[in-house]
Amino acid sequence: MLKNTMMSGPKCPSCGDKKMITDQNTGELFCSKCGIVVTDKISDTGAEWRSFSNDEGNKARTGAGTSLKMHDMGLSTVIGAANKDATGKPLSTSMKSSIERLRTWDSRSQAHSSADRNLRQALNEMDKLKDKLALTDSVIEKAAYIYRKAMEKKLVRGRSIQGLVAACLYASCRNTETPRTLDDIAKGINIRRKDVARCYRLIFRELELKMPVVDPVKGVSRIASIAELSEKSKRKATAILNQAKEMGVVAGKDPMGIAAAALYLACISTGEVKSQKEISIASGVTEVTIRNRCAGLRQMLKDE
């Protein structure tokens, strides 16, 4: 098989032409003009794919990538779920039951100590919450990393797995600036908000986590989506918040509270009819908080 290549490096030593031809069968590189063989030992630059199945289209060079979301980081082997042999034929009934027993023992053998079992259960909980709270892979990966650090510091012993999982997820959301409140995570995992907050304070203190200041603008689209507000109101609320950030009004305030207040003021400005109660339900903050934050934002808009 011959392949034309334009060499960006050395020219033909005989005629100086740059156009070379590669013979991939013999490993020779020769000049297309005068035919001189430049080298007879070139390395194969093609893909090193191999297929061990009947499906030749399903070629892979490597296995699955490693991930902190898996208790063994994806480094162990597993017995596949398909009850078929190497040729694709279904297994007999007796063989199926034998393979099922092997799968069970293989699964049990991968978690020897209680710490391994604890980690496995915690990561399974995180995987369930990923879909429930519509979280991305990067958030779960970060939460798994924080949980592993908590295990190294022996913070897990004597504490609820669900509480620590929820705290790690909340810390991960804060770290990646994903707009999820303590209430969202507590409802998702079905435990009290107080328990999540207690575990979060513990890991924050013991692991010395550094959290970025949450931008209230990130909460606007989420609240507007739940409350079914128009794009015009969303843009107006974003403009109000950007102005408030420049004047230092948002410092030290609850991000969701100030985002809800900005949306309420934006609705009044655009003529969209939405009550404080509707925005309160969508944002998860009380009507009193919205009124208090509105007072501060109104004062800022007046002073301008």
Binding residues: 12, 15, 31, 34
What are 213's two structure tokens?
A: 């200041």
Which residues, 6 or more positions from 182, have their beta carbon under 8 angstroms from its beta carbon?
170, 193, 196, 197, 200
The full DSSP string for 176-217 is TT----HHHHHHHHTS-HHHHHHHHHHHHHHTT---PPPPTH
Strand ranges of the sheet holding 2-6, from the earlier edge strand across to the other edge: 2-6, 19-23, 28-31, 37-39
- Round to whole Å and give the CA distance between 200 and 223: 24
- State which amino acid sits at residue 12: C
- Residues making up the annotated binding site for Zn(2+) are 12, 15, 31, 34
Query: Using only C-alpha atoms, what is the Rg of the chain?
Result: 30
